[in-house]
Structure 1
Amino acid sequence: MKWITSVAFLGLLAVGQTATAADKLTVYSYRQAFLVEPILARFTAQTGIDVDLVFAKDGITERLAREGRLSPADIVLTSDFSRLVELVDKQLTAPVKSAQLDSNIPAQFRDPQGQWYALTMRVRNLYTAKDGLGAQPLTYEALADPKYKGKICTRSGKHPYNIALVASMIAHHGEAQAKTWLQGVKDNLARKPQGNDRAQIAAVKEGVCDIAIGNSYYYGNMLQDPEQKTVAEAVTINFPNQAERGAHVNVSGMVLTRHAPNRDNAIKLMEFLSGDVAQKAYAEVNMEYPVKADVQPSQLVASWGAFKADSLPIVKLAHYHQAAVKLLDEVQFDL
């Protein structure tokens, strides 16, 4: 009888532990905590579901693979599209079917099989000095024009943002033409690829180059940084290819992990992140464009004016990712 009572007690204890675990989630994030934590706090306040955030600049994919079925991670948040591709390619994700996600996130910005969903959009802009070239109707193709020899600045070609741009050029022009273009851009560089996107904007102000390649949200963050505001104010943000296909865009995003221990609540969080509250928070905190069409960008970002985005489905960037890396190697872009 005592044995039966003990078993019953242990069973009740196990049920209690399961219920407690069901009110928690673990999120692995390539996105910095200062951006994500306030949004997750809103989710917890609304649902009562606690979220354990684990931030890492690198290595999350490798960690998930190593942990396997024992991983506590339910969701991974990424800061760029290439991380989403990597997670899917290594079979570390699970498909999600959600009418709410499909309603909030346009088809261009989600995987057709539900393996990943974009959360925010950023533009690969071209920057010029206000007292130099000024505002220009530039195109990515023009970066290879010999008239710009010694006048272009960019970070490493192997950075995910630039790999995605090269992938988009392959999608639009084919591999052979994209390689010719890439060689032309390399020939026009003012210096060996180096630094981050902020460093490219600074290089324009300093007169190192006339045109720099950089993501829109870095420019917005620099304008809000007292130490970098004067640098950013010295340049003009140009949205490329506005007369035809539109500017290349990349995305941050999210995936449900393959072995998510709290799948149902994880999907609730994904739906929350795609909704108005979270989308607006992303827009205000990090100067990014919401992917939800009816959520407006921040006042600062809106002040740059409306622009035409490339309608190329983001999934196409995955199709040409390896080809883009191959071309960068073939032209020895970073050397």
Structure 2
Amino acid sequence: MTLTKSALAAVLLASVALPAFAEGELNIYSSRHYDTDEKLYSDFTEQTGITINRIEGKADELLARMQAEGANSPADVLITVDTSRLSRAKNMGLLQSVDSDILEERIPANLQDNENDWFGFSQRARIIFYAKDTVDSPPVTYLDLADPALKGKVCIRSSSNEYNQTLLAAIVTHHGEEKATEWAQGVVGNMARSPQGGDTDQLRGLVSGECEIAVSNSYYFARALRTDVDGVSTEIDKIGWIFPDQDGNGAHMNLSGAGVAANAPNRENAVKFLEYLSSDSAQVYFSSGNDEFPAVKGVALAESVAKLGEFKADEVNLSDVAQNIPTAQKIFDVVGWK
């Protein structure tokens, strides 16, 4: 029998056994794939004495695993990227509400679920990049990306990408389904190529001249400022950036967040961990370790992140935006956004 790559990954993931439950342990299921997060876990253990057992995998595989494990799941905390995945986990019944004065005080209301099933702990601005040599007047709003003048010039990821799903859901929230459909259709007409690759590949498209406008999350570019990213860093002076909608709603923000698993055997430790993620020390590390914006206001930014400049962020309630993700997916299908 031949397994597909995704099926093989699921089998390997399922074959990893977690240690038995214990009072001083915490079982984390995480789809964050950053080596720099190791410091978050080790610092928490140093501060609390709680041992962390971690299972890492793709978000969809982790959600499927938790669903299959049901009431016997050892998962205490789910960590994943983007509002769309957090919302899906909630809708699948995989998370539980958390009543924490610390989280309520530290995490802005728009960055947490309306029923406290999940909380955002770091942010990434979804912004517009452009080729300085060829673009004199870059688009300044998301809606500008549909301008026919940009035909054949835009690089952007596929409709299956969670960042794009949440961006379109936010446009539905702000402008309504009809306007959002017109926008998505316009962007499809302006694509320089069929959607391909990740956010870094959209930036590479600017450097190579394949496109003149690109959409990417901020931390991919900030990472290229801080360290060597192939195909971007050596030519990074050719790339300009715009935080969209500064005279309107503000730049759209994607989340990385977490929630306590519905059947967490170590619930108290799980809540402690979420509260730790909202601490200044952890929030600073999200920025310095992975070039993200902290969720907690006033926390110092890494130099690479600060270089992007100050901007107005969209403060729409992302829990409300999550309700429009199914509509966004329908729109993508209607307009043929691959």
TM-score normalised per structure 1: 0.91
Q: Give unmatched runs, 5+ long, in structure 2.
A: 1-18
SS where residue 181 of structure 1 aligns?
helix
Q: Which residue of 1 aligns with 2:101?
A: 99
Q: Which residue of 1 aligns with 2:169?
A: 167
CA distance in 2, matches of 1:231, 1:79: 29
SS where residue 213 of structure 1 aligns?
strand
Q: Which residue of 1 aligns with 2:16?
A: none
Are the counterparts in 2 of residues 201 and 214 from structure 1 also a CA contact under 8 Å?
yes
Cα distance, 1:229 vs. partner? 1.3
Are the counterparts in 2 of residues 122 and 215 from structure 1 also a CA contact under 8 Å?
yes
Larger radius of gyration: 1
Are the counterparts in 1 of residues 28 and 75 from structure 2 also a CA contact under 8 Å?
yes
Are the counterparts in 2 of residues 197 and 218 from structure 1 also a CA contact under 8 Å?
yes
SS where residue 218 of structure 1 aligns?
helix
1:133 aligns with 2:115: no
User: Map of 1:137-152 to 2, 5 A cutoff?
Assistant: 138-152=140-154
Are the counterparts in 2 of residues 127 and 214 from structure 1 also a CA contact under 8 Å?
yes
Are the counterparts in 1 of residues 173 and 324 from structure 2 also a CA contact under 8 Å?
yes
**Cα distance per residue 1:109-135 (max 9 Å; x no partner):** 011211000010111111011222267
Greater shift after overlay, 27-36 or 113-122? 27-36
Cα distance, 1:81 vs. partner? 1.5
Q: Which residue of 2 aligns with 1:5?
A: none
- Structure 2 residue identity aligned to 1:299: E
**Which of 219, 228, 248 is equivalent to 1:244?**
248
User: Map of 1:204-223 to 2, 5 A cutoff?
Assistant: 204-223=206-225
Alpha-carbon spacing, 1:158–1:33, altered in 2? closer, same or farther (3 Å) = closer
- Structure 2 residue identity aligned to 1:200: Q
Cα distance, 1:271 vs. partner? 0.2
Cα distance, 1:83 vs. partner? 1.1
Q: Which runs of 4+ in 1 moved over 4 A?
A: none
SS where residue 38 of structure 1 aligns?
helix
Q: Which residue of 1 aligns with 2:326?
A: 322
CA distance in 1, matches of 2:246, 2:139: 7
**Cα distance per residue 1:182-223 (max 9 Å; x no partner):** 101111111111111001011011111111010001111122
Q: Which residue of 2 aligns with 1:229?
A: 233
SS where residue 241 of structure 1 aligns?
coil
Cα distance, 1:137 vs. partner? 5.7
- Structure 1 residue identity aligned to 2:221: Y
Cα distance, 1:248 vs. partner? 0.8
**Which of 111, 114, 126 is equivalent to 2:113?**
111
Cα distance, 1:43 vs. partner? 0.6
1:193 aligns with 2:182: no
**Which of 251, 262, 287 is equivalent to 1:283?**
287
Are the counterparts in 2 of residues 74 and 266 from structure 1 also a CA contact under 8 Å?
yes
Cα distance, 1:181 vs. partner? 1.1
CA distance in 1, matches of 2:82, 2:249: 22
Greater shift after overlay, 235-244 or 255-264? 235-244
Alpha-carbon spacing, 1:130–1:221, altered in 2? closer, same or farther (3 Å) = same
CA distance in 2, matches of 1:218, 1:39: 20
**Which of 322, 331, 335 is equivalent to 1:331?**
335
% identical aligned pairs: 38
Greater shift after overlay, 253-262 or 71-80? 71-80
SS where residue 61 of structure 1 aligns?
helix
- Structure 2 residue identity aligned to 1:86: R
- The number of aligned residues is 317
**Cα distance per residue 1:236-269 (max 9 Å; x no partner):** 1211111221111110100100000000111011
Alpha-carbon spacing, 1:159–1:285, altered in 2? closer, same or farther (3 Å) = same
SS where residue 150 of structure 1 aligns?
coil
Q: Which residue of 2 aligns with 1:87?
A: 89
SS where residue 22 of structure 1 aligns?
coil
**Which of 299, 307, 310 is equivalent to 1:306?**
310
Q: Give unmatched runs, 5+ long, in structure 1.
A: 1-16
- Structure 2 residue identity aligned to 1:221: R
Cα distance, 1:231 vs. partner? 3.7
Cα distance, 1:45 vs. partner? 0.4
TM-score normalised per structure 2: 0.91
CA distance in 1, matches of 2:55, 2:39: 14
Are the counterparts in 2 of residues 154 and 213 from structure 1 also a CA contact under 8 Å?
yes
Greater shift after overlay, 266-275 or 137-146? 137-146
- Structure 2 residue identity aligned to 1:328: F
- Structure 2 residue identity aligned to 1:41: S
Cα distance, 1:307 vs. partner? 0.3
Are the counterparts in 1 of residues 226 and 304 from structure 2 also a CA contact under 8 Å?
no
SS where residue 203 of structure 1 aligns?
helix
Q: Which residue of 2 aligns with 1:14?
A: none
CA distance in 2, matches of 1:177, 1:223: 35
Q: Which residue of 1 aligns with 2:5?
A: none
CA distance in 2, matches of 1:33, 1:155: 21
Are the counterparts in 2 of residues 137 and 242 from structure 1 also a CA contact under 8 Å?
no
- Structure 2 residue identity aligned to 1:314: L
